[in-house]
Amino acid sequence: MDFLFYDIFKDGKTLVDAPFGMLKEESEFAWDSTQRGETTRFFPLATDNGDQIHGAVVHWKGIPSLEDARNVRDKVPWVKHGFSNARIVPIGNFQSVSKLFNRGGEFRGALPVQRLEPFNTDPCVTWYVVVTAKEGFDYDSAYGLQDALHCVCLWKGGIAEEIFDIVAPKQGKVLRLKANHRAEVEQYIRDIPSVKGRAVDVEILRTRSQMAWEIFF
């Protein structure tokens, strides 16, 4: 199974607040995970102002089960030592797009979502948006088709770079977006049908890819 792991440092802490020993342990853990092929992508979380590192978004692959992923999460030094709060989300390819197929061209004329403003910020900045169905709600039946269509329109507009389905036991979407600032991201996301219907919880994560080398080397 594939998972999205992300953690956020507690109490507004940033990387400068991390003890050196914990930082070294985290670096070794991340390197070992990458060498094993378990970690395939790593993006430091960066504050909106000042670009201070305060967590990470990580793609894991080849983990047999959700329980195994939880065990890996609990071994992450930031989590193990209580320095951060973490979450894992099971993800898969954007297979829900198939809901739009074989419908007699019903969605062929769907228009792309237009950018609210030209993209002119640092290209290393990427926004992750995690849209998770609320407990006990049948997201797929209620919003699976509509959300898939809206995600395609975000992609056609050059706003969404990548889309993942959240898979069992959860439901929802993970999107990677290019935008200038958080308020712009929020405006794009609020028009997702399940968000408008208040059927999901939303987390917006700002990452800055170039910082990875500054952390580990």
- Give the separation between CA 82 and CA 19, rounded to whole angstroms: 12
Residues in the chain: 217
Predicted local confidence at residue 99, as pLDDT: 95
Q: Which amino acid is at 25?
A: E
Measured distance CA(1)–CA(201) in Å, rounded: 23
Which DSSP string corresponds to 204-217? EEEEETTHHHHHH-
**Cα atoms found within 13 Å of the Cα of residue 103, Cβ hemisphere only:** 11
Assigned token pair, 10? 């507690």
Please state, in angstroms and rounded to a whole number, the distance separating the CA atoms of residues 41 and 87.
Answer: 16
- Does this chain's domain 2-91 share its CATH topology with 93-206? yes
Condensed to tens digits (0 to 9), the pLDDT of residues 180-214 reads 999 999 999 999 999 999 999 999 999 998 644 44
Of all residues in the chain, what percent carry a pLDDT higher than 90?
88
Cis peptide before 19 (omega within 30 of 0): no
Confidence of residue 216 (pLDDT cuts 50, 70, 90): very low
Peptide bond before 169: cis, by omega within 30 degrees of 0? yes
Neighbours of 206 (CB within 10 A): 21
Q: Where are the domains of the chain?
A: 2-91, 93-206
pLDDT digits (tens, 9 = 90+) for 11-46: 999 999 999 999 999 999 999 999 999 999 999 999
Instruction: Write out the two tokens for 145.
Output: 């088709």
| pTM over the 0.95 mark | no
For 84-129, write each residue's pLDDT tens digit. 999 999 999 999 999 999 988 899 889 999 999 999 988 889 999 9
CATH topology of domain 2-91: Alpha-Beta Plaits (3.30.70)
Architecture, CATH, for domain 93-206 = 2-Layer Sandwich (3.30)
